[in-house]
Amino acid sequence: MYQVLIVDDEPIVKIALQSMLNWEDLGFCICALASNGKEALDMAERFHPDLIICDLKMPVLDGLALIRTAKETGMDCEFLVISNYEDFNSVRTALVLGAFDYLLKVSISPEALTEQLKKIRLKLDAKHAVPAYTERQYLNRVSNEQKHAAWRDFFIHPTHSADCSIQNSQLPFDSSEAEQSNTISLCQISFDNCRDSVTLPDTDLICSTLKNALEQIERRVIIFLDDSNVLLVLPDQELSLHKTTLSSLCARISQLFSYYMSLAPSILYQSRLASLEESRKVYGTFQPLFGLNFYEPLGVADASSLTQTAPALSYKELASRILDYTGENRMSFAFQKITEFLERCRKDHVPPANAIQSCIRLLDSLEYQIPGGSSPVHEQLADLADSMRKAGHAEELAGYIASALPLIFSPHTKEISKPPLSIEISQAVSFIEDHYDSKISLTDIADYVGLSSSYLCRVFKEETGFNINTYINNLRMAKAVRLLEDKNYYIKEVAISVGFDDQLYFSRLFKKYYGVTPSQYRAAVK
């Protein structure tokens, strides 16, 4: 008879399970009842159950903690969990931790319970039919930690010799196979891009999920490089045996992490490697490639298809083009060219550090047009450059650039080479700066300076390089980016503060200037 421990904080549930069927007829005997996970662990030490039927939500120690503790302490038993509809996320975690299956409390019936017990009985029978470990097998099991350390050392420290780090006895396959037929595959799963949004699972959950994905692939090595990076080494022959490909296997791994833990890790793979030494070299190429998450989620990708290059256009050439541009909306043009530059960096798989450095040098080149060497504008740009160096993704970098451009191209930072403004145009500029936060018409400005509207438009364009409407919008956009950095203001309040009654129009114009919406800009600027 297999011993059963029932764990639930509701007495009526324990009574119902106990009396629901004739347990002995199915080969089971209820050895004890417990009200929480802590009591269950105490009972398990006394009775050594083969099966624990437990609720997930319990006081003191819940069902998940019970399963995790049992696995960590080496308790050899099966778990059947019972739950409510709203506990599905916990059920998934329980299955990943190794629970056999689950039953919903509302649908527990003698038939459903009997069906599960029959399946568990078959598994227990098979388990007990397996001969005990031989002494050599036991020693091999004990040395797994040492083997794992050797594998990790082999990949992380490229100066180490393969002969002294990895021996054939530590391989789940004959290394000569690889050398004869190019059959080693390498796959790295990285959770680094998941850190900002979720709490990373522990290694037990990760390992359980991987074993689930690799259940048919018997000959493989799972290496935990650190708390957020896992490396898989396996022979291609094993994939062929099960009529699958490395790409489809990686897609399966990604699906399981998404299903069980709502994670979307980055996965790089490469197959048909000639030797362990070659696999170590390929691993070295993986690390900079994961940096491409800077531009967009990497997902599942074949590393051999991701070659890195230098930017197609140098920052000096880009700066020259922007400074030579004589159109009305130089700020909008500049941001457009910079975003195009970043897009080329993405397509060419330019290392993020190179892209960031190019953008910083570009702004340095543009900054030369600002008069003075220690003005507040220069100080703000220096702070933005420091922030750009720490940018975690391309959108964040674009946000910092969007914040910098108004400082460079605002009416206050026009080139020194420009002649001084006439009295009338200076008065027009002052009027605009005093009234940008309200509705301004051309007639209002013309009446203020005592010129006709047509003459004012012509002279204003000649002296400032902008038509009046563009000048007003440039000023309003420059003021808007400053206000957006203060997250105490709603976007509608920012729009009104810079002279826009229509929030939708304000958002469209802002995106036209900076390539991002006001909310995207605010999210990028920390």
Residue 258 lies in a domain: yes
| SS3 state at 5 | strand
Tokens of 40: 């269950």
pTM over 0.75: no
Q: Output Rg (C-alpha) for the chain, integer angstroms.
A: 33
CA–CA separation, 383 and 22 (whole Å): 75
- Give residue-wise pLDDT tens across range 89-127: 788 888 888 888 888 887 788 998 998 999 898 888 877
- Give residue-wise pLDDT tens across range 452-503: 988 898 888 887 777 888 888 888 888 888 788 777 888 888 999 999 988 8
CA–CA separation, 400 and 385 (whole Å): 8
Strand order in the sheet with 184-190: 221-226, 229-235, 184-190, 266-273, 300-302
Residue 214 lies in a domain: yes
Domain C-terminal end among 261, 280, 305: 305
C-beta of residue 233 within 8 angstroms of C-beta of residue 184: yes
Residues 366 and 500 grouped into a single domain = yes
Q: Which of 21-30, 180-189, 392-401 has the highest mean pLDDT?
A: 21-30
Residues 301 and 356 grouped into a single domain = no
Residues 176 and 258 grouped into a single domain = yes
Residue 225 lies in a domain: yes
Is residue 215 very low, low, confident or very high in pLDDT (cuts 50, 70, 90)?
Answer: confident
Query: Which pLDDT does position 368 carry in this prediction?
Result: 64
Instruction: Name the domain count of the chain.
Output: 3
Residue 385 lies in a domain: yes
CA–CA separation, 327 and 330 (whole Å): 6
Query: Which pLDDT does position 95 carry in this prediction?
Result: 83
Residue 460 lies in a domain: no
Residues 154 and 208 grouped into a single domain = yes
Q: Which one-letter amino acid corresponds to residue 384?
A: L
29-47 average pLDDT score: 92
Q: What is the largest CA-CA distance in the chain?
A: 105
Residue labelled with tokens 């003075």 = 372
| SS3 state at 234 | strand
Identify the domain containing residue 355 by its residue range.
308-418+466-526
Indicate whether 162 pLDDT > 90.
no
C-beta of residue 377 within 8 angstroms of C-beta of residue 344: no
- Give residue-wise pLDDT tens across range 251-277: 999 988 887 777 889 999 998 888 888
